[in-house]
Amino acid sequence: MHIVVCTKQTPDSAAKLTVDAAGNVSWGDSPIVINPWDEYAVEEALLIKERLGGNAKVTVISMGPEAALEALKHAIAMGADEGIRIWDPAFEGSDTLATSYVLAKAIEKMGDVQLVLFGKSAIDSQTGQVPVEVARRLGFSPLTYVIKIAELDPAGKSITVERLLEQGRQVVKAPLPAVVGTIKGINEPRYPSFMGIRKATRAQYPVWSAADIGADPAKVGAAGSGVRWTRIFPPPAREGKAEIIQAETVEETVRILVDKLMAEKVI
């Protein structure tokens, strides 16, 4: 079974983002890391491979410039088999529509992919749109907010997952191939192993260009994007005040807290 995990490189979650007057976003000298949500997707792919007795191949792909290597390296160090970077200067300025086109073309090129895993969203842009867009383009079953892969039957070509929704858990059975958007809680991502780190730093990471994946130039980059950024600005700093409730007893403290929460219509 061939599993593809789509990853993205993002600034470290501790990075301080700044936006200048021209709308340029900077995260200073913060390191570039694998999108933290993607670690769950990589882990899930590795768990599936282990469940299948190793009878699966996990390929990690990332659309991005040189910095995208960090995400691929991290995934290989965790145990993925292969990492492919998909990049072409023509991809610059892609929105989710163009990105999903590129990713779908790359997955199509591989030919035998049964399962595509994503993190729920990227911590930088937080759209969460790419998984469903890729599923739509490939005609794969779109399964998002997945908290558990309950059953996977490559021979019978079916997958059963539990989706965590605001209303509760929804169990969905769908035909393979499928795109699965994982969420936090589906597993506990492993750390890279030392052996994996060595493998990751020595691995070859092929780069697939627009021509390699047979992408139509009109559908990639800014030309293929539907979104136009009219203005980029930092949101105003959130203001808040802390109040410490101190009463004689815990019960009394709780009573005051509950009254206040009710008065504020929080509960």
Q: Is 203 in the site for another protein (CB under 8 A)?
A: no
Q: Is 18 in the site for another protein (CB under 8 A)?
A: no
Pick 41 or 220: Cβ nearer another protein: 41
137: three-class secondary structure by DSSP = helix
Among 185, 193, 216, 247, binds another protein (CB under 8 A): 193
Q: Is 198 in the site for another protein (CB under 8 A)?
A: yes
- Positions in 68-97 near another protein (CB under 8 A): 73-74, 77
Report the length, in residues, of the chain.
Answer: 267
State how far the Cα of 23 lies from the Cα of 222, in Å rounded to an integer: 17
Q: Is 192 in the site for another protein (CB under 8 A)?
A: yes
Q: If you count DSSP H runs as helices and E runs as strands, how many of each does the chain have, helices first?
A: 6, 13
Burial of 105 (0-12, 13-18, 19+ CB in 10 A): buried
Place of tokens 């958007």: 181
Compute the least distance from the CB of residue 192 to another protein, in Å. 5
DSSP 238: P
Q: Is 164 in the site for another protein (CB under 8 A)?
A: no
Q: Is 201 in the site for another protein (CB under 8 A)?
A: yes
DSSP 222: G
Q: How far is CA 56 from CA 4, 47, 109, 176, 228, in A?
A: 10, 10, 18, 15, 40
Tell me the torsion sign for CA atoms 85, 112, 176, 76: negative
Q: State the number of binding residues for another protein (CB under 8 A).
A: 14
For residue 10, the cross-strand partners are 33
Binding segment for another protein among 51-59, 157-165, 191-199, 236-244 (CB under 8 A)?
Answer: 191-199
Binding segment for another protein among 138-146, 197-205, 233-241, 257-265 (CB under 8 A)?
Answer: 197-205
Among 168, 194, 228, 229, binds another protein (CB under 8 A): 194
Compute the least distance from the CB of residue 72 to another protein, in Å. 12
Which residues sit at the interface with another protein, rule CB under 8 A? 31, 33, 73-74, 77, 191-195, 197-198, 200-201
